[in-house]
Amino acid sequence: PVPVITIDGPTASGKGTVAHRVAQALGWHVLDSGALYRLTALAVIQKDIDPDDAEAVAHVAQNLQVEFHPEGVRLDKLEASELIRQEQVGNLASRLAPNPLLRAALLGRQRAFRQAPGLVADGRDMGTIVFQDAQLKIFLVADVQARAQRRCKQLIEKGISANLKDLLADMRERDARDIERAVAPLLPAQDAHVVDSSNLTIDQTVQSILDLWSR
Ligand code: CDP
């Protein structure tokens, strides 16, 4: 089978950046599964769908017109990369994510990214559900302070105002929602390697994953 490395973990653990860098180093494809949840959230807002209508939300996900390209992603032929990064969209994605019909609707779309020579998939349930047979599973953690500080720095660099106290509270809330949900809760797969990046640079984190892969 085409090899897959899964990278799961909590919000702002650096999964996205690390997944892209690992994929680049290996010359593999990358799946940002969180982007699919965010794109669904964006479409739900744009189409004025009731977020609590589980079937309607799943229907939106089933019919998403998504096109990933090297610089980002288009939704219904329109550039959506910036839009899906908004906090409002991320928050709605987090609220929609427990919907089992939505998760089922996105399953095939995610698995279709598994193409030669290989795939690095980042998310919450890549190792536990979507790619259970992955050759290497990483659970990337970092303490909540480190994650909030990173997110704060990122936002300020983008010229968006941010304060650490609010981000910390928001992050704790998202962690709780990810961990406590009944469907696909955020947990390391039994065969996952836990990597703690609290005191690692991005380069060191990427290298530790590449080392595990080449072992
Ligand atoms: O890192 P952050 O939480 O800001 O966002 P993300 O990784 O882009 O994911 C957006 C939302 O989708 C999160 O709230 C996750 O709970 C959810 N998600 C999920 O349920 N399953 C995945 N495989 C990926 C994301």
Nearest residue (by CA) to ligand 1, atom 4, is 11
Q: Which of 7, 11, 109, 141 to mutate to test the pocket of ligand 1 (most atoms within 8 A of CB)?
A: 11
174 Cβ below 6 A of ligand 1 = yes
Q: What is the pLDDT of residue 155?
A: 85
> Any idea how long the chain is?
215
- CATH assignment, 4-206: 3.40.50.300
How many other CB atoms are there within 10 angstroms of residue 149's CB atom?
Answer: 16
pLDDT per residue rounded down to tens, the chain (215 residues): 999 999 999 988 889 999 999 999 999 999 999 999 999 999 999 999 999 999 999 999 999 999 999 889 999 999 999 999 888 999 899 999 999 999 999 999 999 999 999 999 999 999 999 999 999 999 999 999 999 998 899 889 888 888 999 999 989 998 998 899 888 889 999 999 999 999 999 999 999 999 999 98
CA 104 to chain centre: 16
Cβ neighbors of 62 (< 8 A, separation 6 or more) are 105
ipTM of predicted assembly, 2 dp: 0.92
Q: How many CB atoms lie within 10 A of CB 7?
A: 30
- pLDDT value for 11: 86
Q: Which atom of ligand 1 is nearest to the CA of 93?
A: 11
Q: How many CB atoms lie within 10 A of CB 17?
A: 15
Which of 8, 13, 37, 125 should be mutated for ligand 1, with most atoms under 8 A from CB?
Answer: 37
DSSP assignment, residue 172?
Answer: H
Of 81, 97, 79, the residue nearest 41 (C-alpha): 97
CA–CA distance, 25 with 190 (Å, rounded to integer): 26
